[in-house]
Amino acid sequence: MTTVRLARAEDEAVLAKLDERTWTPAFSPAPPPPAGTPFFDDGTRPGNVLVAEHEGAVAGYVRLDEGFGIPAHRHVLVIGGLAVDPDRRRLGIARRLVDAAVAEARRRGARKLTLRVLGHNTGARRLYERCGFVVEGVLRAEFRVDGEDVDDVLMARPLA
């Protein structure tokens, strides 16, 4: 059984550990978070994170961010992070999190939900496509990861 809820301040340690356990260059061009890095900060607050619990344990999260901080872009929210515990993958948790992010974005009045995914992360790209996202652009060779050029794929889903 998987449920999705808003994060709480007391989720801090388990979400930080989840970030440490799930980081790979396949998922992020940024360096891994140093051990002990807090999960919540000025940019990531509990109210912007949805947490999946599977059989009573935190199994993943999705973070919703604002896009550009200007009025003309207020109708757009961004999936700024998605992680699922490696021991709980292939249980539909990522799908539940993305669906919950879509519902939450709608609840907040967003008309569009966007995200960025590395071109070589085909599993995530398939997930997002199954959730109704389409490719809106590709920034070719935007990143250099492990000595290889990697595309940055921009995807979006209308919410109207």
Q: What pLDDT is stored for residue 78 in this prediction?
A: 98
Please classify residue 10 by burial: count the beta carbons closer than 10 Å to its beta carbon, then call 0-12 exposed, 13-18 middle and 19+ buried.
exposed
Task: Give the whole-angstrom CA distance, residue 78 versus residue 44.
Answer: 13
pTM for the model: 0.95
Tell me the per-residue pLDDT of 94-124, one tens digit each, with 9 for 90 and over: 999 999 999 999 999 999 999 999 999 999 9
**Residue range 137-154: mean pLDDT, rounded:** 97
Here the CATH number for the domain that contains residue 95 is 3.40.630.30
Average pLDDT, the chain: 95
Tell me the per-residue pLDDT of 59-81, one tens digit each, with 9 for 90 and over: 999 999 999 989 999 999 999 99
Q: Is the four-CA dihedral 94, 32, 28, 65 of positive or negative sign?
A: positive
Q: Is the pLDDT reported for residue 35 higher than 90? A: no
Total domains in the chain come to: 1
Q: What pLDDT is stored for residue 89 in this prediction?
A: 93
Q: Which helix (H) or strand (E) holds 51?
A: strand 49-54
Domain of 35, in residue numbers: 2-158
End-to-end CA distance of the chain, in Å? 30
